[in-house]
Amino acid sequence: MIKGDFPLQEFGSLRTPFYYYDLGLLRRTLQRALAEAGKSPLYRLHYAVKANFNPVILREIASAGLGADCVSGGEVRAALDAGFKPGDIVFAGVGKSDWEIKLGLEAGIGRFNVESPEELRVISELACEAGVKAPVSIRVNPDIGAHTHANITTGLSENKFGVNYELLDDVLREAMALPGIEYRGLHFHIGSQITDMADFKALCNRINYLAGHLDRAGLPLGDINVGGGLGIEYEHPNHLPIADFATYFEVFRNHLQLPEGTVVHFEPGRSIVAPCGTLICRVLYVKQGTTRQFAIIDGSMTELIRPALYHAYHRIENLSSSEDEDIYDVVGPVCESSDVFGKAVSLDRCHRGDFIAVRSAGAYGESMASRYNLHELPEAYFATPRCRAAL
């Protein structure tokens, strides 16, 4: 969405900060992702609900036909409410509580992605009590680094996720022996905001190695879930508003060597929803500090924690002004020095009341919002393709 497309007239009556979602872009993104994945008939998409669980967004994604990737009982409920088919829901997480496992069993979800033998035994017990068998994939820690922020890399042996790939045989044998478990496949996820396709190639190589190894050991492979992680272009949201799904799926097509008929699952989160969301804020004060000029806005780390938590970059634009640019540290009102959206940001000259857009905030924005400093949780509004703003 370019600067002139934001309906500032309508924004005037709304309490800022709020999230503004471009549903047209979301739909185009979903179509592109499905078209590129669909070039391989056995590729299946499960949207990672953690990226954004706004019910309107979830319903759009469910009606496009994706499955859901959940990491808590709350997310499983939200996915069911939004209309995702139970059989298309996969459930990961290192610490599933008993009630969450029971919820998944009762709903008949498609897969538990299990992260330890300890968890496997509990799921088996609860499934036996319920008189069912739990469909299970084993999450493997492939010990592969992703070139992304340390807080969002997950596939190294030092991370808490998954079963060490060298111990896979034992865990797989136990899964097959447990009465409440039906072994179905392997699950991986190496990290998030990955833009270097070499990381995904390395994952494919590890999967190929494991597939060969299991074959030689006479153990079943089942299907493969490669997780999520495809990064987006935060620097230039208008130039590349849709993630490069073509290159991404091509990497797996070219590098995965699996027995014919193997289904491959993907769990994209960020690449589906990040570009379509903008955090709309207003300038409260332009403050002259001793060495810097601050644009103090009413949005903060409580609505969008990514810059504070990961030093993440989001493009910031002044929607109200087209005066000459000036340099600002764009900061929020929260009592933390880390409550900074950007340092030395070049913005069209700011005045009190100007609307500020913090772009590409559709993933891990609203879903990670908090009430710190007793801020209200942000509202969300939607621009639909036919009528520009449905406020």
Instruction: Catalog residues that contact ligand LLP under the rule CB under 6 A.
Output: 48, 51, 69, 92, 152, 154, 189, 192-193, 227-230, 267-271, 306, 310, 363-364
CB of 94 to ligand LLP, least distance (A): 10
Smaller CB distance to ligand LLP: residue 258 or 368? 368
Smaller CB distance to ligand LLP: residue 54 or 271? 271
Smaller CB distance to ligand LLP: residue 138 or 319? 138
What SS3 class is residue 159? coil
Cβ-count burial 147-159 (b if 16+ within 10 Å, e if not): ebeeebbbbbeee
Residues 6+ apart with CB under 8 A from 174: 117, 120, 121
CB of 32 to ligand LLP, least distance (A): 15
Smaller CB distance to ligand LLP: residue 206 or 270? 270
Smaller CB distance to ligand LLP: residue 308 or 319? 308
CB of 154 to ligand LLP, least distance (A): 6
In angstroms, the CA 316 to CA 80 distance is 35
In angstroms, the CA 358 to CA 351 distance is 17
CB of 187 to ligand LLP, least distance (A): 7
Kindly provide the residue ranges of all beta strands, DSSP E only, lying in the chain, ordered along the sequence.
18-22, 43-48, 67-70, 89-91, 111-114, 134-141, 163-164, 181-187, 223-225, 264-266, 277-288, 293-297, 316-318, 325-331, 340-348, 355-358, 379-383
Alpha helices in 257-371 (DSSP H): 270-273, 306-310
Smaller CB distance to ligand LLP: residue 48 or 297? 48
- Identify whether the C-beta of residue 156 lies closer than 8 Å to the C-beta of residue 203: no
CB of 159 to ligand LLP, least distance (A): 10
In angstroms, the CA 171 to CA 138 distance is 8
CB of 270 to ligand LLP, least distance (A): 4
